[in-house]
Structure 1
Amino acid sequence: MNETAKVTKRILPLAGLTGIGALAATAGLAAWGNSELRKFELKDITVPLLPPGALRGKPEFRLLHISDLHMIPGQDTKTAWVSALDSLSPDLVVNTGDNLSDERAVPDVLRALGPLLNRPGIFVFGTNDYWGPQLVNPFSYLLKLRRTPSYIDLPWRDMRAAFIERGWHDATHKRVEFQVGGVRIAAAGVDDPHHNLDDYSLIEGPPNPDSNLSLALLHSPEPRVLSRFAEDGYQLSLSGHTHGGQLCLPGSRAIVTNCGIDRARVQGLHDFGPMKMHVSNGLGTSRYVPFRFFCRPSATLLRITETTA
């Protein structure tokens, strides 16, 4: 046996072991990423936005922000966790879309939201409410290529009707004003700007100056629309869509955002000019990408307090 053959004989078993090890590591990583889908977190943030006296002696106005349920029938852990959020006694529930990930999931969404639908609420939808998910090339995210929707219709009209029947406001291309307790709210929203379904001209202009709290709703935090809200004087925008980055590096550092917002503001509370902007991590994922790395699913309780005089 020549020297080359001897070296090859030694290397081949090592290469085989390395390949097996790599497969095992990949399988382990996938299993961990999938298990993270059920480790829900509640984020708790205090934001001073209300004028002095607006709370009439109460310590805070509790706004619960939920987004991106991406519900599939049988997700009992998610259903129970979301339903239990009612124990937070939110004054207002804001839902920024992508509730569905299956054509049969509307009853599951309604079970999950359950008692929250008895509280004041407002919502806008995302494209995954309108059209079903589809298998896509994962490199499209890394290359920042916009995906074409499947255009497979989901029963979003039934879900919308159920939300409205329970008293929630649809803010899609509407300006909505209502009062919760002593807090006067002026809200406006657009349809999903990620796929250019928005038409800001339908809601443009400053919010009612007699309001105590002005809210801007949009599914995807696209800067071109956020800029319009900020210029009109809205205090707080609420959006989802990014899943917080979903497949992140340690420290929840996003690799991509899947929209126009920068990676530093892909999740949590940030400034967008003079406006505060909250981007939710979301509570689900596409059924075709059932993994989260260093970015657990979450809802957020925003404790809105009075500003100092």
Structure 2
Amino acid sequence: MARNTRHTAAQFALGIVGAGAMALAYATIIERNAFALRNVTVPVLPPGTPALRILHVSDFHMTPGQHLKQAWINELSTLEPDLIINTGDNLSHPRAVPNVVQALSGLLGRPGAFVFGSNDYFGPRPKNPFKYFKKGHKRTYGDPLPWQDLRAAFTERGWLDATHNQRELEVNGVNIVVAGVDDPHINRDRYNTIAGAPNPRAHIRIGLTHSPEPRVLDRFAQDGYDLVLAGHTHGGQLCLPIAGALVTNCGIDRSRVKGLSQWGAHMKLHVSAGIGTSPYAPARFFCRPEATLLTLVPTAASTRATDSAQQISQSDAPVR
């Protein structure tokens, strides 16, 4: 009897190890590269305003050898969005700037705006994953990254640096205010540089931040912004089927870790789950890498936001 019990226990232990190995292989090889396009309709424009299609990208965490990721990002240009918003963490390697620029080459000719995240300024470092469960844990910074080169590449092609700037532009008949802060995750935000109500004649007022920290979101809401776009969370990155994200790695609650939500009475928040991962944690589980096509429509055109995800394969163009 004892021998049978030991044999059963050993089989059970081997089963657990085997299941864990399969889950790890799936997370690191399959899901990490199962890029998805998420389509979200946002009723936020004044009645009578033309619809505006915004491609929101974030958290590439690019390294030179990630050719599949680069090809997928490049394919997004076939969507022909009206405006591109990039909410940072483009880099994970000091020689990755050309790879990011090449991946975005089809989009850099279109109107765009951006803010940077901590991994545009500093390279990644190995971390104890349990630190993410402790708010306010000590930050560790890697080697400096060439963010100035990336900024120059973006701005030379016409994208607006919204970092501590309030900018106005018109796209397809829609008057837009875009304002942003530097990454609150590493306390680089200086909201007072953009504080105050944006142009009330604009059709849409958009705030940008890499990390969706409540102190920054509250200021945008108080100043009358309609929509804030952020990244940083990776959607939780490693999620459970029913529980969802275990951590957000910032001050927002887990229910807002990705997608569209309401912040305050009048402002909407969209958090991108991002396209990449740290090279020291190259895994995703129940949280596919993604970009989002936000279609902004007049409030009278829809009473609820819709959210759907679809996969873009390397052989098929994105669905328009």
Scaled by the length of structure 1, what TM-score is found?
Answer: 0.92
Contact 1:133 1:286 in 2 (8 A): yes
Alignment of structure 1 residues 31-110 onto 2, 5 Å: 31-34=25-28, 35-55=30-50, 60-110=51-101
Say if 1:251 and 1:303 are closer, same or farther in 2 by CA, change over 3 A. Answer: farther
Matched, 1:129 2:123: no
Alignment of structure 1 residues 1-40 onto 2, 5 Å: 7=2, 13-34=7-28, 35-40=30-35
Say if 1:81 and 1:88 are closer, same or farther in 2 by CA, change over 3 A. Answer: same
Measured against aligned partners, the alpha-carbon deviations of 1:229-266 in whole angstroms (never above 9, x if no partner) come to: 00000000000000111111115711110000000111
How far, CA to CA, are the matches of 1:142 and 1:214 in structure 2? 34
**3-state SS of 2:240 partner:** coil
Displacement after TM superposition at 1:78 (Å): 1.1
Q: Which one scores higher on RCO, CA 8 angstroms, separation ≥ 6?
A: 2
**3-state SS of 1:49 partner:** strand
Contiguous gaps of at least 5 residues in structure 2:
302-320
**3-state SS of 1:116 partner:** coil
Q: Which has the larger radius of gyration?
A: 1
Matched, 1:287 2:279: yes
The one of 207, 212, 229 equivalent to 1:216 is 207
Displacement after TM superposition at 1:14 (Å): 4.8
Q: Which amino acid aligns with 2:256?
A: R
Say if 1:33 and 1:122 are closer, same or farther in 2 by CA, change over 3 A. Answer: same
How far, CA to CA, are the matches of 1:288 and 1:65 in structure 2? 25
Could you tell me which residue of structure 2 aligns to residue 3 of structure 1? Answer: none
Measured against aligned partners, the alpha-carbon deviations of 1:50-99 in whole angstroms (never above 9, x if no partner) come to: 223332xxxx2100000001111121111111111111110000000000
How far, CA to CA, are the matches of 1:43 and 1:148 in structure 2? 31
Could you tell me which residue of structure 1 aligns to residue 294 of structure 2? Answer: 302
Scaled by the length of structure 2, what TM-score is found?
Answer: 0.89
Q: Which amino acid aligns with 1:292?
A: R
Displacement after TM superposition at 1:20 (Å): 3.4
- Size of the aligned set, in residue pairs, is 299
**3-state SS of 1:70 partner:** coil
Measured on the aligned residues, the alpha-carbon RMSD in Å equals: 1.6
Displacement after TM superposition at 1:27 (Å): 1.4
Displacement after TM superposition at 1:146 (Å): 3.0
Could you tell me which residue of structure 2 aligns to residue 143 of structure 1? Answer: 134
How far, CA to CA, are the matches of 2:64 and 2:24 in structure 1? 22
Contiguous gaps of at least 5 residues in structure 1:
1-5
How far, CA to CA, are the matches of 1:285 and 1:144 in structure 2? 20
